[in-house]
Structure 1
Amino acid sequence: MREFSLPALYEVPSDGNLTDLVRRNATQHPDVAVLGRKVGGVWTDVTAAQFLAEVRTVAKGLIAAGVRPGDRVALMSRTRFEWVQLDFAIWTAGGVTVPVYETSSAEQLQWILGDSGAVAAIVENDGHVATLESVRAALPDLRKVWRIEPGDASGPDGSNGSEGSGGSEGSGGPGAIAELTALGADITDAEVDERAATAKADDPATIVYTSGTTGRPKGCVLTHRSFFAECGNAVERLKPLFRTGECSVLLFLPTAHVFGRLVEVAAVMAPIKLGCVPDIKNLTEDLASFRPTMILGVPRVFEKVYNAARATAQAAGKGKIFDRATRTSVAYSRALSTPRGPSLGLKVRHKVFDVLVYRKLRAVLGGNGEYAISGGAPLGERLGHFFRGIGFTVLEGYGLTESCAATAFNPWDRQKIGTVGQPLPGSVVRIADDGEVLLHGEHLFTGYWNNDEATAEALSDGWFHTGDIGTLDEDGYLTITGRKKEILVTAGGKNVAPAVIEDRIRGHALVAECMVVGDGRPFVGALVTLDEEFLARWAKDHGKPADTTPAALRLDPELLAEIQRAVDEGNAAVSKAESVRKFRVLPGQFTEEAGHLTPSMKLKRNVVAKDFAEEIEAIYQP
């Protein structure tokens, strides 16, 4: 057993709640831009004083609508300015926010709202209203529904809305913000201040439902203390990334996910300017116009940036230059971790490629940033070195919903690429005798809502059992090697952690997803799906029809040879007994709609294994 901890850098308030941050900002930094709001396609600043006023106005409406201290209010929307405003307004009204992914099905929505006992819901659009209405009869506690976006004059069924909606569903109204503003016109400032002070540090701030790779999602209860401990220590440890008045962050991760929520609260805590992007189709343009100093993402985002840049270079006949620039950036980054640093010759090559390649890549990322934070899955050592080598450091971290997002991350001044960093200051990471990662600290959840059995299984003597397998080095840097429940045992008795090889294979531009199989089988195999965006480019470069689909190309010898190279790259990271011997390219994609992926893009292995049982069997046929 091994453990490591760092002293806390932030003192969690003994009382108070997250609404204190908004009032503090308005007092100490009234004219500082704390949020960016896009109006008519142009980013406009929202100052700390303005944000407080807008939050209070909406909170008054919630109070007038009957939201009481401790009431759960569901919030179902994409990442947008209104999410942040409504989240803090719910807290100001004394409520508890229950985030819901905007892609959730009617069944998922019914479960989350029913299990949490939500008394009100704020959804984004008419489609969400229709989904909610389809299960409304099964939600007796739900009294009020509002819609963020103004809707049509008639309801989703052509009516003028349903009786007792208490809000904008199908009413063609101006939207939740305007309606709540009008509703709270008679609530005094004294009333809203009194309500804002009701929640204490140990009271629930939110119930975040896990993505549910198996079974029904469980509601993780995160307190105001959890967020204070998490965000306070993260901001202090990453201080150069959170300089008030200088730094900014563009958030395009789902705010329904705990990682996105961490960014939201940390930005307000610092404070630094926060911009929200609901649709990543225009992400490049948003990065260029907002020009953040920091971005948050998952590894797939950074893989796509790299792959897109390489494909563009190849299309322009500059593929060899790009590949040389890549080798130089990786070598330069590796040299930064050595006592002597980069050699003179490496410095010269790096400077040349900075002019030819690296500056253009940094421009794609907004042109003003030096750091990104990556979580959700392993980034990969080579990609980490590549980005640091071009002057855009990606700090990898690790966390779960139950740990209020990041429970470990790489410090800005002592990054160790290939690890997920050191423990959050004020917390402890322990490696149990069986290799499981255990966590302790004020940032942890207090339990699963309405599920004492699951809580008792996950929490023991203040330690949270993550279910992840990992190691700690002598400096306290954590490396995650797999999931306990995902460990495959081949017929020969070899234990195989799928994550290591899957992440390597996914790093190839043509690969969208990869799932390793082999439990109880004679050898390890893999299911592979194709990235359709890069498949089109590859097909064009290799003389294939322009409209070629994955189904049409899955048995193409040239394509199979390319995927084999990706598999070979993955196999290089593991022993021969753990390596993938055969693979199958699937005709379609793993999708959230089909139940193969969670909203945070994690594989539901049991569902994939069931739906593609024939493909798996084919791997093991002679």
Structure 2
Amino acid sequence: MYQVTGQAKLTFDEPIENLRDVLNYAVRTYGDHTAYRFRRQPGGDVLERSYRQTKADIDAFGTGLMSLSETPGQERIVTIGANAYEWVVSANAALFGAGLSIPIDRQLPASEVLLLTRRSRATIFVYHHGHTEIAAYVAANNPAIRHFILMKEAAGMTLPDDPRFMLMDDICRQGQTLLEQGDTRFTEHLIDTETMAALIFTSGTTSAAKGVMLSHRNIAANVVQAMRTLKIRPGKERAISVLPLHHTFENTVGIYMFWAYGVTICFMDGLRYLSENLREHKITMIISVPLLVENIYRQIIRSAEKKGKLKTINRLIPILNMLQKIGLDLKRRLFHEIHDALGGELWLSVVGAAAVDRKILEFFNGIGITCWAGYGLTEASPVVAACSQDMNILGSVGRPLAGITCAIDDPHGRDIEHAGEILVKGDNVMLGYFENDEATQEVLVDGWLRTGDIGYFDEHDCLFITGRAKSMIVFANGKKAFPEEIETLLNHVPGVAESMVWGELNQREDVDVAALIKLDRENLPVTGEDAIRKYLLAEVAKINAGMPVFRHIKHMLFTEDDLVKTTTLKVRRSEQQQIINAALADRQTVLAKCHGYRLKDGRIV
């Protein structure tokens, strides 16, 4: 196998062994600098908390939780809800001493939340007011949970007439009183860095959700690995929190790495307020997923087209790229209208969770917004590799972070023809899967984490991801195709919002490439059902002309229905295929007879 170990590019020698150490370092270094900015509701007053205040709030809540506990330090604490300052306080009170932290996907239905509370054997349930009904449902069906704690009351809310329900504010006040009386059970709690500290359930895009067990050492190591690799301006950045906090990308990067860098973290009022929040908070950096970056890109392109400036922008970008190479950077000045619409301060976007279209990365870098693509997975706490100030090869996900070793399960592994499964080794690799030894043994082999992702290294030792092993299409002749590559081609077609490609078994016992296209009606160059169908079939034919015959798209459906997604906006392929298969069964037909048909409300028409 071919191996690459990430090398430190920056010096960071702080003795960080656990996540409390990260916050203590932030308090020592940044103290009264603003750690969080947020509103209770859109249009309300902006509230701020410094790093020192954040630590005080976590200490108060953690001490209050310990006073409620029959087994202090042993509670299993669920945190669920929209991104909020109280979410951060709750999760870290658990991690710093109150017990095990169990962040749960805020978009799950009540029945699945209940199932996860039972699987994890939760004893405390901390929830946002938007999850009041789910909290009531769980309370009625899981008597093992002793306390249900509401983060913040909304206008007109009252707690249920149930002694298990209480307010976070009340617990914080109780904890503060105990702290003032000298209670140090929480603040001096000895953290075991090697045992499970967080139980994070995966999104299950390719299989049922697994419980990933992460230790303090895992997550703290990932913070240090980033600090020794990625350069941003300590104490000077403002980031907006967009991705859900239960997801490890937002959790590790958007909380702990940002703490270590002294970033001011601004909670978004909601996706429809994103542009407004970027401007008012003067955001300098954002961590996001490809679909969000693609949406911002489309808005910029649409606005430029309406103003008749798109051709000028496209002509200027290569010229300005050349000028930048000789030390003359005029991008932000000449593209100031675009930058002003994004707040005027945004200079960095870190994109992870899935592959991002190289064309979009080139555009953002071309207008003066640096884009670093990264790669990671929950099982690695999660960041494995990232582009950086030292090496930003567009289309790649950069080199492994300092101290992380990546390998390609192929003797060569240095080009796409020798792509293989990506293996990872480092202190950031998980302990294993919760109560699932069989699954753990499948992925933790001889000290390596088998990621299930396929990739290769280039001559600069930058990692390129070609796809997931489980979604890879294997033909009868042994040749392979990666859906992600074909989806990128489809997504370039005007009027295509996104797509999903898969392998469909045919009557010859071989596999045909099939595609589901979601329309972006605003950008379709034609109108009318027949015209849209003919247009899409013609565009598919053009794409096929540029690919080997065995990779040709043989079957195409189109839709305006939302595709089934995770909270990080990845398509749930198996669930989306189930919808298509059910629609075919309902029509009593096969996909080969529906080329160019529409999928509407779960039916093929």
| Shorter-chain TM-score tier | 0.7 to 0.9
Measure how far apart 1:602 and its partner are. 2.1
Is 2:314 the partner of 1:323?
no
The residue that corresponds to 2:391 in the other structure is 414
The residue that corresponds to 1:528 in the other structure is 517
The residue type paired with residue 183 of structure 1 is: Q
The residue that corresponds to 2:90 in the other structure is 86
Mapped partners of 1:106, 1:185: distance in 2: 33
- 2:196–2:215 contact (8 Å) kept in structure 1: yes
Mapped partners of 2:46, 2:537: distance in 1: 42
The residue type paired with residue 311 of structure 2 is: D
Indicate the larger mover: 202-211 or 499-508: 499-508
Structure 1 residue ranges without an equivalent (≥5): 168-174, 545-552, 591-595
- 1:304–1:509 contact (8 Å) kept in structure 2: no
Is 2:566 the partner of 1:598?
yes
The residue type paired with residue 181 of structure 1 is: C
Query: What does residue range 147-158 of structure 1 map to in structure 2 within 5 Å?
Result: 147-151=150-154
Local SS of the residue matching 1:500: helix
The equivalent position to 1:245 in structure 2, one of 235, 252, 277, is: 235
The residue that corresponds to 1:438 in the other structure is 423
Mapped partners of 1:249, 1:220: distance in 2: 27
Indicate the larger mover: 66-75 or 249-258: 66-75
The residue that corresponds to 2:601 in the other structure is none
The equivalent position to 1:578 in structure 2, one of 522, 530, 551, is: 551
Q: Residues 567-588 of structure 1, C-alpha deviation per residue, up to 9 Å, x if partnerless?
A: 4786587544323244221252
Mapped partners of 1:291, 1:75: distance in 2: 29
The equivalent position to 2:491 in structure 1, one of 491, 498, 506, is: 506
The residue type paired with residue 456 of structure 1 is: Q
Query: What does residue range 221-300 of structure 1 map to in structure 2 within 5 Å?
Result: 221-239=213-231, 241=232, 243-262=233-252, 263-300=254-291
Measure how far apart 1:261 and its partner are. 0.3
Local SS of the residue matching 1:184: helix
Is 2:442 the partner of 1:457?
yes
Mapped partners of 2:481, 2:82: distance in 1: 37
Measure how far apart 1:143 and its partner are. 0.9
Local SS of the residue matching 1:187: helix
Mapped partners of 1:497, 1:412: distance in 2: 30
Mapped partners of 1:559, 1:355: distance in 2: 43
Mapped partners of 2:262, 2:380: distance in 1: 22
Local SS of the residue matching 2:505: coil
Q: Residues 144-172 of structure 1, C-alpha deviation per residue, up to 9 Å, x if partnerless?
A: 111223157676xxxx62534242xxxxx
1:44/1:527 Cα in 2 relative to 1: closer, same or farther (>3 Å)? same
Structure 2 residue ranges without an equivalent (≥5): 411-418, 596-605
1:373/1:28 Cα in 2 relative to 1: closer, same or farther (>3 Å)? closer
The residue that corresponds to 1:23 in the other structure is 24
Is 2:204 the partner of 1:212?
yes
Indicate the larger mover: 56-65 or 381-390: 56-65
The residue type paired with residue 314 of structure 2 is: T
- 2:518–2:561 contact (8 Å) kept in structure 1: yes
1:514/1:115 Cα in 2 relative to 1: closer, same or farther (>3 Å)? same
The residue type paired with residue 583 of structure 1 is: M
The equivalent position to 1:306 in structure 2, one of 269, 276, 297, is: 297
The equivalent position to 1:104 in structure 2, one of 108, 116, 125, is: 108
Measure how far apart 1:210 and its partner are. 0.2
Measure how far apart 1:441 and its partner are. 0.3
The residue that corresponds to 1:557 in the other structure is 531
Q: Residues 268-322 of structure 1, C-alpha deviation per residue, up to 9 Å, x if partnerless?
A: 1222211122511100000001112211111111211121122223334x1xx31
Q: Residues 56-82 of structure 1, C-alpha deviation per residue, up to 9 Å, x if partnerless?
A: 222222112217214221110111222
Mapped partners of 2:66, 2:59: distance in 1: 10
Query: TM-score scaled by structure 2?
Result: 0.86
Measure how far apart 1:370 and its partner are. 1.4
Mapped partners of 2:312, 2:80: distance in 1: 46
Mapped partners of 1:79, 1:509: distance in 2: 34
Query: What does residue range 361-372 of structure 1 map to in structure 2 within 5 Å?
Result: 361-372=338-349
Q: Residues 442-496 of structure 1, C-alpha deviation per residue, up to 9 Å, x if partnerless?
A: 0111111111111111111221010011101232211110111111124555321
1:455/1:13 Cα in 2 relative to 1: closer, same or farther (>3 Å)? farther
Mapped partners of 1:323, 1:560: distance in 2: 28
Q: Residues 87-133 of structure 1, C-alpha deviation per residue, up to 9 Å, x if partnerless?
A: 222223432211112111122212221111111011111x5232233
- 1:525–1:619 contact (8 Å) kept in structure 2: no
The residue that corresponds to 1:610 in the other structure is 578
Query: TM-score scaled by structure 1?
Result: 0.84
1:442/1:563 Cα in 2 relative to 1: closer, same or farther (>3 Å)? farther
- 1:80–1:278 contact (8 Å) kept in structure 2: no
- 2:268–2:274 contact (8 Å) kept in structure 1: yes
Is 2:7 the partner of 1:7?
yes
- 1:80–1:277 contact (8 Å) kept in structure 2: no
- 1:292–1:369 contact (8 Å) kept in structure 2: yes
- 2:565–2:572 contact (8 Å) kept in structure 1: yes
Q: Residues 222-280 of structure 1, C-alpha deviation per residue, up to 9 Å, x if partnerless?
A: 111112111122123112x1x33312211111101111102211111222211122511
The residue that corresponds to 2:75 in the other structure is 71
The residue type paired with residue 215 of structure 2 is: T
Query: What does residue range 25-40 of structure 1 map to in structure 2 within 5 Å?
Result: 25-38=26-39
Query: What does residue range 326-405 of structure 1 map to in structure 2 within 5 Å?
Result: 326-329=314-317, 333=321, 341=325, 358-405=335-382
Mapped partners of 1:254, 1:311: distance in 2: 27
The residue that corresponds to 2:416 in the other structure is none
1:41/1:12 Cα in 2 relative to 1: closer, same or farther (>3 Å)? same
Measure how far apart 1:13 and its partner are. 7.9
- Across the aligned residues of Structure 1 and Structure 2, the Cα RMSD in angstroms comes to 3.0
Local SS of the residue matching 1:92: helix
**May I ask how many residue pairs the two structures share in their alignment?**
572
Mapped partners of 2:332, 2:187: distance in 1: 54
- 1:118–1:142 contact (8 Å) kept in structure 2: yes
Mapped partners of 1:573, 1:298: distance in 2: 28
The residue that corresponds to 1:48 in the other structure is 51
The equivalent position to 1:139 in structure 2, one of 132, 137, 142, is: 142
The residue type paired with residue 150 of structure 1 is: E
Mapped partners of 1:102, 1:311: distance in 2: 32
